[in-house]
Structure 1
Amino acid sequence: MEFAELIKTPRADGVVLHRPFMPNVEGTLCLTGHHLILSSRQDNTEELWLLHSNIDSIEKRFVGSLGSIIVKCKDLRVIQLDIPGMEECLNIASSIEALSTLDSVSLMYPFFYRPMFEVLEDGWNSFLPQNAFKGLESMTDEWRLSEVNKDFSVCSSYPSLVVVPKDVDDDALRKVATFRHGGRFPVLSYYHSKNGMVMMRAGQPLAGTNGRRCKEDEKLINATLRPGKRGYIIDTRTINVAQQAKARGGGFESEANYPQWRRIHKSIERYNVLQESLIKLVEACNDQSHSMDRWLSKLEASNWLSHVREILTTACLAAQCIDREGASVLVHGTEGTDSTLQVTSLAQIILDPSCRTIKGFQRLVEREWIQAGHPFQQRCAQSAYSNSKPRHEAPVFLLFLDCVWQILRQFPCSFEFNESFLVLLFEHAYASQFGTFLCNCAAERARLSLPEKTVSLWSWMNRPQELEHLTNPLYEANSLVIWPSVAPQSLLLWEGKLHSKRCKKNVLRPILFILIWVLNISDVNTIIWLI
């Protein structure tokens, strides 16, 4: 397919760009296969380069012969283009809709992008599993790097290399894979060097209503326990949801078959609920009314901060079991690709100081999200403005970044990176010129040869001139475990992801009043400083 076939009007002059809290820009609008570009001849005017893949939805409006296109982006920006001529406006809108909804991954911009910078470090090779395992080997000899999934036949969502207990052979792993959802048998997520305890992650056991068991599964997770020690299984579903999963062939680990493990159920919502929460949150932040009660009511109805609190609470629980109880932990929900990864990665940020560095956090995202099989292509296909009915879309990764921001705000000197770093990851997860967040799993990336055909985000981000903008000037290495507060008054709305510079009128005003009410502060200067 040729992109030119989808572009009815490639260029329009006299187009006016409107962006909140920024001056209007008049210039020439150009459509290419991957970008919407607005260029002006005015001095000191920044060009607009918008990836079609970043467009969530558009709206058309007409006043006489003047047409307007409201472009709503996946990164939550909203812009308006005034286009002279109704036919031109309709053609451009039609072209944008066609180019922003292409399904084929191989037609996306990362496959066509050629970097204008010198690649000093190939990001595709920066965080390979075999390199990470060398660090583990220096601390313990109880684990091994297995190639059981080298052709992705045992588990389609796992990488080709996984870390498993040394005493469990590959034949046993194959049997365990048939007992776990999606073949996601328990693998090592984190080794706590302080006491040798570990955190593993998996899919739910396929126990079903008849109470099916798997001796190899029991042996695998028991291999992580020290003599006389118990472990904790943290199920990210409520007991009722886990019970219902039994009727569909899923379930949980029974106490009779796993007597050395204590099961704890938490309540982290699944992706369809989270997507609805994001839609309501953005709707609240775009509310043009001047009613504080209405705004607070909408914010509360979104349940966004409730989701943040529940995820952080569960991560703190996992970290507490490992660090304070001296126990190993197994985390799973249903598939093991969403809430499981939120919990395991946040627990590591709490426990491991290296995860609070720039390279360490990138390594964490690569290992616990990208290589671990979080389906970015599905979850980030739509954002808060899409008119399509959500299928598999959900802000799972965005919620994780929000939780990290909450911890960063509470421990501002313990992180090497700043808020811009987190916002950048959010934006690139939804639309990017880099291939890092493309596809749903390692198998898909290997099939499309992403490392050979696309550039890694880490290659660009880790250049000195970029790191300069992403580094926290307050950073002081902190080797301690950090325990974030999850009290309601400790959790704030993350304005950065909502593009606070463009939404100041709608976001900062309610935040100001919330702080006055929650903290009972009368000094406005104090509140402004806190914000």
Structure 2
Amino acid sequence: VIPVENVRLLDRSSGQRKASVGTLYLSATHTIFVENNPETRKETWVLHSMVSSVDRPPSTPSGSQLVLRCKDFRVYQILVPQERDCVDVHASLVRLSRPEKYSELYCLSFNPSVNKEEREASWSFIDLMADYKRMGVPNNLWVSTTVNNEYRVCDTYPSELFVPKSASTGVIVGSSRFRSRGRFPALSYFHQDTLAAVCRCSQPLSGFSGRCQEDELMLQAVMKSNPGSDYIYVVDTRPKLNAMANRAAGKGYENEDHYTNIKLQFIGIENIHVMRSSQQKIIDVGEMRAPSMSDFLWGLENSGWLKHIKAVLDAGVFIARAVADEGVSVLVHCSDGWDRTAQACSVASILLDPFYRTLRGFMVLIERDWVSFGHKFSHRYAHLDGDPKEVSPVIDQFLECVWQLSEQFPCAFEFNERFLITLHTYIYSCQYGSFMGNCQKERRDLRLRERSHSVWPQLWKDRSDYTNPLYQAEQSQSQGVLKPNTSPFYFKMWKGLYNHVEKSVPPRQSPADYLSAVREESQQLEEELTNHQEVAPGGTAHQHQHHQPGSRQGIQHNTPPPPPPPPTNLEIPPV
């Protein structure tokens, strides 16, 4: 631990106007700032894996500056009195925030107070095979295949997969050889009512005129697995011009002359590089202090961010409509099938199935369409010091689509905004092993089940913090398929994620938090009433006096304080 005294810290993202004076410590995992004020001794902990960049602006007469920008969009400004100390702190922070090997990640040293058996059990909390069984799979249309045991056919796919019953091993292997990265068509979601399915894969290696009989047979098998339709949609989530450009590299998209049973649909979600640039612009908008309306609106428009969110949501809406309304199966791909494909398939599942709108169901969905199907978490979210061009906010956009849906359908989701923001933090923080690595095989080779902890039991344990008080299970079930309006009027900036500056100036309690507090107090009053009835002579209820809303004891005069913001670092170890 390296202590540096008389450091000034300004948390730009908290609305703090005046810097605090204290001592700065650098541990192996955290930057810790302890205020000198003997009354508060407030501590600020920043996990090194949450640091996105460490900049050194020009020095001031008061000392040398450091600016820490974090992956949860918080910004800390540090003023170090001595130039030499600032140079040392900067060098240490850069090194600590950019690990080069998985063995340096926080999840391998994070040690919550659970025993070995509890840690091992945490990895069984989510059972994907149970979810497929809930869908009615396997059945006489879709079966489990052993073709990818030991990741023999596709090393970025899970070992357990479901494929059309009519697809032979030869067809599956042949199709994989004709698909980028070997990612052949496999089942993502099965709709029991219409028997239509959502499948996923990567782009074909067709070039300008190439074809593959096994791949054509594979798509026919997907179609035959839905008795109610004589064709399938192939949803290419890329802009058509991008897909056409890939033909020059021997890749591209399906030729409808060769695949007679398909209808090709381009969606137009931009690539990871466009999204990375767009998010940086929306981050800049979120950091504006008291912007004019014109500056704010110009920044929002210039970022293009909401346009991209709309494109992802439109993809999910198209797939859900095809499956639920038309009864037509859909095969989804982008380039490699692990970014835009994951977005489109998981948004469609949210729309199609109320189970994924529950807390546990959402965990299952993330585990299935993102973790097991090989979304490149460590590359996309800069867990290691690697190629910056591989970094992109792919899952950020999915989480935002879910938040936008929850704004349109406030009673349809069991979880709240805080859950989405906390999950976003865990994805970037490297605190748990759940999101480490880039595919299932890599996680197995790293022995993460033996060396780290799963995040899901922790989130489930804290579920009372993440419950939406407006959720109505019956209404969500009766709604069945969600049909959002994707008109531009319905999209808004996600202030809770991107705008920390205004979040606590002044501190306000959200309506959802207020309702949770009201519900909790109502439950307490009901319990008190029950207890009084049990102990009262004859069990009569008239001896208990109700608190009326607006009375001195009523909830209007006893509003609980706003709950704290979602934690950046849970289970902080001692320094």
AA aligned to 1:148 is V
Q: What percentage of residue pairs aligned between the two structures are identical?
A: 33
Query: What is the match of residue 203 of structure 1?
Result: 202
Alpha-carbon shift at residue 249 of structure 1 (Å): 1.1
**TM-score, scaled relative to structure 2:** 0.81
**1:367-421 deviations in Å (ceiling 9; x for gaps):** 00011111011111189xx9x9831111010001010000011111110000000
- Tell whether the 8 Å contact from 1:308 to 1:402 is kept in structure 2 after alignment: yes
> Equivalents in 2 of 1:137, 1:350: separation in Å?
18
> Equivalents in 2 of 1:139, 1:373: separation in Å?
22
Structure 1 residue runs of 4 or more that deviate by more than 6 Å after TM superposition = none
User: 2:8 aligned with 1:16, yes or no?
Assistant: yes
Query: What is the match of residue 335 of structure 1?
Result: 336
Alpha-carbon shift at residue 158 of structure 1 (Å): 0.5
**1:448-483 deviations in Å (ceiling 9; x for gaps):** 0111111111121111xx111111111111112111
Query: What is the match of residue 4 of structure 1?
Result: none
More deviation, 37-46/403-412 = 37-46
SS in 1 for 2:411: coil
Query: What is the match of residue 262 of structure 2?
Result: 261
AA aligned to 1:409 is E
Query: What is the match of residue 134 of structure 1?
Result: 133
Query: What is the match of residue 498 of structure 1?
Result: 498
**Higher gyration radius (CA):** 2
> Equivalents in 2 of 1:472, 1:436: separation in Å?
24
Alignment of 1:335-374 (within 5 A): 335-374=336-375
**1:469-528 deviations in Å (ceiling 9; x for gaps):** 11111111111211111111100000111143656779x9xxxxxxxxxxxxxxxxxxxx
Alignment of 1:98-137 (within 5 A): 98-116=95-113, 119=118, 122-137=121-136
SS in 1 for 2:205: coil
> Equivalents in 1 of 2:456, 2:232: separation in Å?
36
Query: What is the match of residue 391 of structure 2?
Result: 393
SS in 1 for 2:4: strand
More deviation, 221-230/275-284 = 221-230
Alignment of 1:178-189 (within 5 A): 178-189=177-188
More deviation, 128-137/82-91 = 128-137
More deviation, 126-135/396-405 = 126-135
User: 2:26 aligned with 1:31, yes or no?
Assistant: yes
Query: What is the match of residue 474 of structure 1?
Result: 470
Q: Residue 27 and residue 351 in structure 1: after superposition, are their counterparts in 2 closer, same or farther (change >3 A)?
A: same
AA aligned to 2:322 is C
SS in 2 for 1:90: helix
Query: What is the match of residue 526 of structure 1?
Result: none
Q: Residue 121 and residue 26 in structure 1: after superposition, are their counterparts in 2 closer, same or farther (change >3 A)?
A: farther
More deviation, 36-45/195-204 = 36-45
Corresponding residue to 1:55 among 51, 56, 70? 51
> Equivalents in 1 of 2:302, 2:130: separation in Å?
45
- Tell whether the 8 Å contact from 2:143 to 2:162 is kept in structure 1 after alignment: yes
What is the aligned-residue RMSD (CA, Å)? 2.4
- Tell whether the 8 Å contact from 2:135 to 2:191 is kept in structure 1 after alignment: no
Query: What is the match of residue 72 of structure 1?
Result: 69
Corresponding residue to 1:448 among 438, 446, 449? 446
SS in 2 for 1:164: strand
Q: Residue 214 and residue 55 in structure 1: after superposition, are their counterparts in 2 closer, same or farther (change >3 A)?
A: same
More deviation, 326-335/225-234 = 225-234
AA aligned to 2:53 is S
**1:8-43 deviations in Å (ceiling 9; x for gaps):** x71112323211324744332211122111234644
Stretches of structure 2 that go unaligned for 5 or more consecutive residues are 509-575
> Equivalents in 1 of 2:231, 2:213: separation in Å?
19
- Tell whether the 8 Å contact from 1:11 to 1:30 is kept in structure 2 after alignment: yes
Alpha-carbon shift at residue 161 of structure 1 (Å): 0.8
Query: What is the match of residue 169 of structure 2?
Result: 170
Alpha-carbon shift at residue 132 of structure 1 (Å): 2.9
Corresponding residue to 1:402 among 393, 400, 403? 400
**1:55-78 deviations in Å (ceiling 9; x for gaps):** 111222422362232111111100
